[in-house]
Amino acid sequence: MNQVPSMDQWLKEAKADPSAAKCGMYLVHNGVVREDAKAKVRFGEEDAPAVTGMTFSYDRKKVEAAVEETCKMPGIYYIRTWLADGELTIGDDIMFVLIGGDIRPHVVDALQSLVGTIKNTCVIEQEHH
Domain edges within the chain: 7-128
Residue 41: the pLDDT is: 87
- The residue among 118, 111, 100, 107 whose CA lies nearest residue 11 is 100
Three-state secondary-structure class, residue 33: coil
Q: Residue 113: exposed, middle, or buried by beta-carbon count in 10 A (0-12, 13-18, 19+)? A: middle
Out of 2-6, 23-27, 29-33, 57-61, pick the least confident: 2-6
- Mean pLDDT calculated for residue range 28-49: 91
- Give CATH superfamily name and number for 7-128: Molybdopterin biosynthesis MoaE subunit (3.90.1170.40)
Query: Is the full-model pTM beyond 0.75?
Result: yes
pLDDT tier at 1, thresholds 50, 70, 90: low
